[in-house]
Structure 1
Amino acid sequence: MSFLKLAFPVLLLLTQFLPLHAQKVNDSYQLHIREINSPITIDGKMDERAWQQAEVATDFHMITPMDTSDATLRTDVRMAYDDKNLYLIAINFKGESDPNVVESLRRDFNFGNNDNFLLFMDPFDDQTNGFSFGANAEGAEWDGLMYDGGSVNLSWDNKWVSKVANYEDRWVFEAAIPFKSLRYDEDITKWGINFSRYDLTFQEKSGWAPVPRQFPSASLAYTGNLIWDKPPPAAGSNISVIPHVLGGASHDYQGSGSTSYRREAGVNAKIGISSSLNLDLTVNPDFSQVEVDEQIIDTERFELFFPEKRQFFLENEDLFANFGTPTIRPFFSRRIGLEAPIIFGGRLSGQLNRNWRLGVMNMQTERVDAQRIPSQNFSVFALKRRVADRSNLGLIFVNKESLGELYQAEDNTTGAPRYNRNVGIEYDLATANNLWNGNFTLLKSFSSQTSGRTFSHSTSLLYSDGNWEATWAHDYVGEDFTAETGYVPRKGYIRTYPEVGYLFFPSTTSILSHGPTISTSYYFSESFRNTDYENKLTYNLNFRNGNTLNGWVSNQFVELINPFDPTNASGYFLEAGTRHHWKNFGLEFTSKPQSLYTYGFSVQKGGFFADGERFYATTQLGYRFQPYVNISAHTSYNHLNLPKPWNQTDFWLIGTRLDITFTKNIYFTTFTQYNEQLDNVNINSRFQWRFQPASDLFIVYTDNYLPGLFSVKTRSLMVKFTYWWNL
């Protein structure tokens, strides 16, 4: 602890000598926005006087397939504002015989499978965080929180309105975004901004401010500037109350044979402490998953990761959840509220000013005697300081505290620890031109039950210039490091995993780019004994029409640190300390997304544990009656040929999905999954009606069956109503 107390002030002191406000790459790109005094109707028509007087952002630059020319398709964008809303209209001109290509009318669509227009907005001009809004060519809306300089979390929803109108030679997107839905500093009159256009028929992605092709069009390092004629208006009283009611019934046909009922109500509230700082409060929240997680065949040794989708945790989620690396996270919000109901909680998060971000969270859960889980309190404190162009220095503290009397285990020891704490510092590197990115993280855990090697550390550095991409990364997790509110699937190791790749861009062939990637991953024990490695060579081909093809070969070694069942289903285990070595090769193909009929496959063949063999194959098929109906099917087949007692094992996973989007606000989805490894058939049907922005009615029906006889295991029906009410 004394080291961390010393390290953070020293690093903070060093940042005072680093420049904070280097000029942006695209600082010369400017769009001036002016206040209007005449109304704008959101109807997809540019017939208001305010639009005729607004400045135009045009002359877009091509990003892909080549980033050295102007865009083929013309796009014109105008913006304006009044005391309530930020307005935008985008005129997306088509080419000759250029039909719209869209998957469906479902919200938060897949970027690469739809003709679309997107706005990327950085109100603090810190080139790290912001907002994204947009639509596909048939009007399906897209909104998300931006983080890490170019990633978008589409699970976030907020209140805004839009309209898409289609004409013979263009499609028009018009939107009104309330200032209450944004977080910004009223004193900042220059916002980072960029506009992105994607057209699948022409296979062209373009942006108003130019972006190199190796980076996503969402990259905030390459935004231009939105220049306000005066400071943006205050959002005013910004309080939202979001009540919900939920009712449902579930019948257990194979266990007790009883029916259980759910009758619940709760409320969330969002309170704007300032235009950039938000307080989220919740009482008796509903964190039920109305959308089932897609199943997989699990033959892995360690815990799998599923992303957070619950709305309460999403605003400024990166402050808490992105600390560390994907396999060393001190905080993972899905640990809260899934085993024990949450009684109440609160989150204060946002920007203190352009250079400082703050996040504070506290959640309280109930005691659950049936699962021997005590009442627990979860607290998180996160602070980030912007330094040196687009880089950040961060501090995090996570505390999980068991309250009241603890349950006793059979050996008379305490089952749950009284407390588990993590404290850490982090430096995220991102240069102004985005060529260099990196991360340094140092964590220490404290627990009432463990002590000793309780440190964790990770470092990574990435260079990417469009042709070359090279990464160095290494991790260390001590044997006694514990992060009960985090995601750390493996402990007691040192890992190095460098990677280098090169892309060729031929100018005259049907291939857009191709090239090799070499990667290695080596695990060592804390005494530097090699326990795992994988060496892998991949060759990637990206075709101009949108098809992709990748092939790879690998060489792998594993020394088991714990007993392991290679089928994850037989109950027979390989002993810890046994050593296993094999080679694999694989092939993956995905068809062009602009076709109504899409398909893809992947195959993998080679060795496996215990000198066995494994063949693994997946397929995906899809057809759409755009924009209303999408039908898809996927299969996964695992064939394991192992010695006794496992012998030959086959696992099938078959899933189908039917998506019907009646309008951009009314959806029906039926998802069926047969999982041979779990011996289960699952059917999940969900109806969603978004009757107002961010207000929904859900009806969810779920069945679980035994394969073969198709006898019912469980059956449930749930109705959920959520209403977003602005005070």
Structure 2
Amino acid sequence: MPPAVVNRDDRGRATLRAVRIEQPLMLDGRLDEDVYEAVPAAGDFIEQLPRSGVPATEQSEVWVFFDDRNLYISARCYDSHPEREVVNELRRDNSNLVQNESISLILDTFYDRRTAFFFQTSPLGAIRDQAVVDDGANENWNTIWDVKSGRFEKGWTFEMSIPFKSLRYAGAGPQVWGFNVRRIVKWKNETSYLSAVPASYGTGAINRIGVGGTLVGLETPAQSINLELKPYFVSSLTTDRTAAVPFSNDLTKNVGFDFKYGLTRGLIADATVNTDFAQVEEDVQQVNLTRFSLFFPEKRDFFLEGLGIFSFGGVSSGTIRGANGPTDPEVPVMFFSRQIGLSNAQTVPVRVGGRIAGKAGHFSVGALNIETGDKSSAGAVATNFSVFRLKRDVLRRSSLGIIATRRAPAVGNDGSNLLAGADANFQLFDNLEVSGYYTRTSTPGLKGNDVSYRAKVDYSGDRYGLYGEHILIGDNFNPQVGFLRRDDFRRTFGQVRFSPRTKKSRTIRKLTWQADVDYITDAPATVVQNRELKGEFGIEFHTSDRFWIDYRRDYEFLPKNFDIATGVTVPKGGYDYQSLNAYYTLGQQRRVSGKVAISLGSVYNGTKKEITYTGRGIVHSRFAVEPSITLDWITLPYGDFTVRLINTRVIVTPTPRMALSSLLQYNDSAHTLTSSVRLSWEYIPGSQLFLVYSDGRNTFAGGVPGLMNRSVAVKVTRLLRL
């Protein structure tokens, strides 16, 4: 029998009953309908941080309703000092919302403890959604839903409506879903949950689906056509004086569409014709003083649906990296969607493409085929990209899978580049993960040494941590539909951590001591390429400020001369160096917040000094400035140079569905000044208007920077949901 409203097991996991209503809720955030008096709320949230397992200090009440079209979630959030609420972020999908007063909920619609949908809002009615796969989040996934917030003298409220068509689930009729709710009271730096979660999971615990509660009593509508068509129109005026054949004020117009059809409630087919990326934000520049490539995340809408299914070996397929352990930068991405439609920092026309992604029983399946056109200025020829991914759920939260990719023609070759591999991921107990993969590529002209494999063990308890990894990448391993930072290496990495929480301090919440050992050779293990010993100490304060300091001793072997800067070449050979690095992060409850970092040390027989600041200044809850400054002073026997990278973003958010942002970036080492202004307006849910201006200028000659390129674009989309 389902519970009257909510009950709990001995581990604090809640089972909540959804209640059918006959009339749709009127979304206004007031919670003044009779149903709120007739149906008792679920409450008694359990604190995760700072004191795990005790009742939350601020009361929260949650209701779940549904009708034949929508799922409704409402909440009343009491606050003993509502005037102290930290509410300064309104941009859609922005991660800063975690640093605000907020409520988040997770819906495990297949009840498989592996995949889920995440929704978050705040007292301002902010909108943030994600797709979760294997405890990792695709932060750029979007769907159609709505929320309205309100205030009362003792806190704030909200009402949320999620159409069933916006979700993926097993089928029609009675449902049992995984469910949890997180509340963040930022002015206290307190996090609590409807169903208890361990402190060791940190702020991302909402995505740990396996420890969530259960939602019962829900009935989804009968199977109906699930079809979406999203046509677009775009026009742009472009000048490019750096192209092989320079041009000015070139006017272009185009139309296209995205098509989405639900084969089942869990398996979705997508198609795209003449895909355009005019609305995509400009990448933020990064300082790179290494000889390896930088990684930039995927931001294009078409590639974000079901992206987590294509993740392989515990590494994301194109969203933000760094969520899967300390060794991510060295681990190859077997499918990196930014290989499609981009070449030499230029867009390449995507003519047509199709994809199937979703769940079918115990299997997760993803298949993609896309055809791109040629573009001589980008050095791109017409190319076909194909990807196939299959995963089988095993045990409670583990999986086995395979992947295959193909690119034809291969880069610089008339043949095809192929990749095939298998992976395994075992989530054991609450904090232990064991995973690994084996892959091989085939590229015309490259024979042998085309293998990559990895084995990883990660114990991530709250007080203790232990991490070990071994990875190999052959010198002919060549995933041309993926991302590879470096090849021809074998790496062994180990890390130990001790991080006790204080019990009596009113200032310090947690202390961390950590030690890392990193040892990299070439693939045959005959030449040491890198060696690093690192010791770290960190302090987490109750205010959410953080202090961190580390000391590193490094060895690096350069197999050939390295042009580290214009006119400065580091000779090949072996180099020992060391550095001392300190960081301080200011919590976002302040008007001015951010991270300050200072680094002092030696590099390539010389010295390096670096200062960075990445911050945020709050002018108003709907108006913010985000400056970022990186200054490097490098002194080497082969030449001295300075790197200055400065960028500033200004954001105005009149509503949760409208944002005006500008980005100004100055890079003195590249002698460039770039700027962009972007207006995005979701005029109805799922339909958008974009106005984008961008330009790039050359600062090398001094005086007024000369124009290199400029673009003005307008794009309109309209979602038709049947």
TM-score (norm 2): 0.92
Q: Distance in 2 between matches of 1:24 and 1:720?
A: 51
Q: Is 2:200 aligned against 1:214?
A: yes
What is aligned with 2:338?
334
- Alpha-carbon spacing, 1:235–1:601, altered in 2? closer, same or farther (3 Å): farther
Query: Partner letter of residue 525 of structure 1?
Result: D
Partner residue in 2 for 1:7: none
Match of 1:634 in 2: 628
Gap change, CA 1:590 and 1:709, over 3 Å in 2: same
Q: CA deviation at 1:686?
A: 0.9
**Alignment partner, residue 45 of structure 1:** 30
Paired residue total: 685
1:566 aligns with 2:560: no
> SS in structure 2 opposite 1:319?
helix
Counterpart residue type for residue 396 of structure 1: I
Using the TM superposition, name which of 212-221 and 268-277 deviates more: 212-221
Mapped contact 1:686–1:698 kept (Cα < 8 A)? yes
2:391 is aligned, of 378, 381, 384, to 384
**Post-superposition offset of 1:369:** 4.5
Matches within 5 A, 1:562-711: 562-567=560-565, 569-570=566-567, 572-576=568-572, 578-609=573-604, 611-644=605-638, 647-707=639-699, 708-711=702-705
- Name the CA shift for 1:266/1:597 in 2 (closer, same or farther; >3 Å): same
- The AA in structure 1 aligned to 2:357 is S
1:224 corresponds to which residue? 213
User: Secondary structure at the residue paired with 1:274?
Assistant: coil
Q: What amino acid is the match of 1:504?
A: P
Deviations 1:294-320 (A, max 9, x none): 111111211111111111111221121
- What displacement does 1:197 show? 0.3
Moved more, 373-382 or 670-679: 373-382
For the residues of structure 2 that align with 1:155 and 1:396, how far apart are their CA atoms? Answer: 23
SS of equivalent residue, structure 1 residue 497: strand
Deviation per CA, 1:96-149: give whole Å up to 9, x if none: 354331223211132432111011111112222110112122111111111222
Distance in 2 separating the partners of 1:297 and 1:169: 47
Q: Matched residues in 1 for 2:616 and 2:377: separation?
A: 44
Deviations 1:444-463 (A, max 9, x none): 11122212111110111111
Aligned counterpart, 1:273? 263
Name 1:137's counterpart in structure 2.
123
1:41-100 deviations in whole A, cap 9, x for unaligned? 111122223443445221001111121311001111100111111111011111135433
Q: Residue deviations 1:159-209, cap 9 Å, x none?
A: 111101112212111111011110001267211110000011121111000
| Structure 1 Cα separation of the partners of residues 53 and 120 of structure 2 | 25
User: Matches of 1:527 and 1:285 in 2, distance apart?
Assistant: 44
What is the Cα deviation at residue 324 of structure 1? Answer: 5.2
Equivalent in the alignment of 2:3: none
Name the counterpart of 1:490: 486
SS of 2:53 mapped into structure 1: coil
Tell me if 1:307 matches 2:297: yes
Match of 1:183 in 2: 168
User: Structure 1 residues 69, 143: CA separation in 2 closer, same or farther (over 3 Å shift)?
Assistant: same
For residue 14 of structure 1, what is the aligned residue in structure 2? none
Amino acid paired to 1:139: G
Do 2:689 and 2:715's aligned partners in 1 also have CA atoms closer than 8 Å? yes
Cα deviations across residues 440-489 of structure 1 (Å, max 9, x unaligned)?
10001112221211111011111122100110111001111110010112
- Aligned pairs for 1:432-581 within 5 A: 433-509=429-505, 510-529=507-526, 530-567=528-565, 569-570=566-567, 572-576=568-572, 578-581=573-576
Q: Structure 1 unaligned runs (5+)?
A: 1-22, 407-413
- The alignment partner of 2:539 has SS state of strand
Q: Note if contact 2:78-2:154 (Cα within 8 Å) is conserved in structure 1.
A: yes
For the pair 1:247 / 2:222, whether they are aligned, the reply is no
SS of 1:95 mapped into structure 2: coil
Deviation at 1:29, TM superposition (A): 1.7
SS in 1 for 2:563: coil
What residue ranges of structure 2 are gaps of 5+ in the alignment? Answer: 1-7, 316-327
Specify which of 186, 194, 204 is matched with residue 180 of structure 2.
194
Residue identity opposite 1:671 in structure 2: L
Aligned with residue 258 of structure 1, among 231, 245, 248:
248
Q: Which residue of 2 aligns with 1:346?
A: 354
Tell me, in whole angstroms, the C-alpha distance in 2 between the residues paired with 1:435 and 1:104: 32
C-alpha spacing 1:54/1:153, structure 2 compared with 1 (3 Å): farther
Contact 2:278 2:692 in 1 (8 A): no
- AA aligned to 1:96 is H
Quote the offset at 1:561 in angstroms. Answer: 2.8
Could you say what secondary structure the match of 1:46 adopts? coil
Q: For the residues of structure 2 that align with 1:709 and 1:395, how far apart are their CA atoms?
A: 56
- What does residue range 94-173 of structure 1 map to in structure 2 within 5 Å? 94-109=79-94, 110-149=96-135, 151-173=136-158
Paired residue type of 2:352: F
- Partner SS for 1:484: coil
Does structure 1 retain, via aligned residues, the 8 Å contact 2:413–2:444?
A: no
Q: How does 1:51-90 map to 2 (within 5 A)?
A: 51-90=36-75
SS in structure 2 of the partner of residue 166 of structure 1: strand
* Stretch deviating more after TM superposition (418-427 or 233-242): 233-242
**Which has a greater percent of strand?**
2
The 1:491–1:292 alpha-carbon spacing in structure 2 relative to 1, beyond 3 Å, is: same
- For 2:273 and 2:621, locate their aligned partners in 1 and report how far apart those are by CA, in whole Å: 39
Q: Any conservation in 1 of the 2:463–2:499 contact (CA below 8 Å)?
A: yes
Residues 684-705 of structure 1 deviation map (CA, whole Å, 9 limit, x = unaligned): 1111111011211111111222
Deviation at 1:370, TM superposition (A): 4.9
Secondary structure of 1:551's aligned partner: strand
In structure 2, the partner of 1:718 is 713
Q: Which amino acid aligns with 2:28?
A: D
Matched, 1:30 2:15: yes
1:626/1:478 CA distance change after superposition, 3 Å: same
Which range is displaced more, 321-330 or 477-486?
Answer: 321-330
State whether residues 556 and 575 of structure 2, in contact with CA within 8 Å, keep that contact through their aligned partners in structure 1. yes
2:407 corresponds to which letter in structure 1?
K
Question: Which one is further off, 468-477 or 686-695?
Answer: 686-695
Alignment of 1:422 onto 2:419: yes
- Aligned-residue Cα RMSD (Å) equals 2.0
What is residue 6 of structure 1 aligned with on the other side? none
Q: 1:205 corresponds to which residue?
A: 191
- Quickly say closer, same or farther: Cα 1:275–1:456, change in 2 above 3 A: same
Q: In 2, Cα distance between the equivalents of 1:683 and 1:91? A: 42
Between the aligned partners of 1:463 and 1:63, the Cα distance in structure 2 is 19
- Mapped to 2, the partners of 1:318 and 1:227 lie a distance apart of 26
What SS is found at the alignment partner of 1:386? strand
The TM-score, its normalising length taken from structure 1, stands at 0.91
Residue 214 of structure 1: SS of its match in structure 2? helix
Bigger shift: residues 196-205 or 51-60: 51-60
Farther off after superposition, 177-186 or 215-224: 215-224
Q: Distance in 1 between matches of 2:37 and 2:415?
A: 65
SS of residue paired to 2:449: coil
Structure 1 residues 223 and 563, CA, compared in 2 at 3 Å: closer, same or farther?
Answer: same
1:52 aligns to what SS in structure 2? helix
What is the alpha-carbon distance in structure 1 between the residues aligned to residue 704 and residue 89 of structure 2? 32
- Aligned residue for 1:385, secondary structure, equals strand
The structural deviation recorded for 1:628 is: 1.2
Q: Is the 8 A contact 2:12 2:195 kept in 1?
A: no
Instruction: Give the 3-state SS of the residue equivalent to 2:302 in structure 1.
Output: helix
Residues 619-648 of structure 1, C-alpha deviation per residue, up to 9 Å, x if partnerless? 13432133111012221001110113xx21
CA distances 1:333-372 after superposition (whole Å, capped 9, x unpaired): 100011332110011010001x211111111111334555
CA distance in 1, matches of 2:333, 2:694: 32
> SS of the residue aligned with 2:692?
strand
CA distance in 1, matches of 2:298, 2:379: 25
